Structures are given as structure tokens and as C-alpha cells.
Amino acid sequence: MTVDDPIRRQHRWQAFYEEEGGLRDMLGEMRAAFFQRMSAVEPWEVAKLSNLALAAKQVAMLDTAVLAIIADGKTAQAAQRHADQVASIPDYKRRWVNGG
């Protein structure tokens, strides 16, 4: 498996995450369904409550993982923009900017 460019990866995941009916909506609906089912479970049915809570937590973890991929790409974009800005500075000034 090859390492993908984080910026391209971010764009793909962000498009899938943010589109109407996309991943964000699906995960939100899943979490809401788990919580709704939890409210229908009797308090003494601890195993059912525990399983539903764990499922809701796993959905939240998946959401967090996708947001981390998007944030990683945005960080790579910012670093690339900064590197491009530094590269556009003339050599004599770039030495001063880079501390050399």
C-alpha cells in the first residue's frame, strides 16, 4: 500500500463527508438511531444499554478519524502554501527569513 498525498486524500474524504447525504449525515443518523434505541431500553437491561453506547461511541470514533484525515490535509496545504511563499522570496532575503 502506497502513502497517498495528504492533500488529495483530504479533498476526497472532505467531498464524501460534506456532500448532502454523505458520510457526516450518515454517521449522524446512526448515532441518533443508537441513542433513540437506548431510550427505549429498560434501565435494568444493562447489556443492551452497554452495547448501544459502545456502538454510538464507535460511530463517534469513525467521525473523529475522518475529521483527522481532513485536518491532516489542511495542515499539509498550509505547509505547502508557506513553503511556496518562502520559495518566492529572493535568495538574499530567504537566508534572513530562514535564520541563516
CA-wise closest residue to 68 among 8, 15, 6, 25? 6
In this structure, is residue 1 part of a structural domain? Answer: no
Number of domains in the chain: 1
Residue 2 has pLDDT above 50, yes or no: no
pLDDT, the chain, mean = 89
In this structure, is residue 63 part of a structural domain? Answer: yes
**Looking up cell 459502545, which residue turns up?**
54
Q: How far is it, in rounded angstroms, from Cα 95 to Cα 40?
A: 66
**Looking up cell 505547509, which residue turns up?**
79
In this structure, is residue 45 part of a structural domain? Answer: yes
Q: Is 98 or 19 the better-scoring residue by pLDDT?
A: 19
* Residue 59 CB neighbours (<10 A): 19
Supply 39's cell numbers.
431510550
Q: Give me the domain span that covers residue 32.
A: 6-97
CB 80 within 8 A of CB 13: no
* pLDDT tens for each residue of 32-70: 999 999 999 999 999 999 999 999 999 999 999 999 999
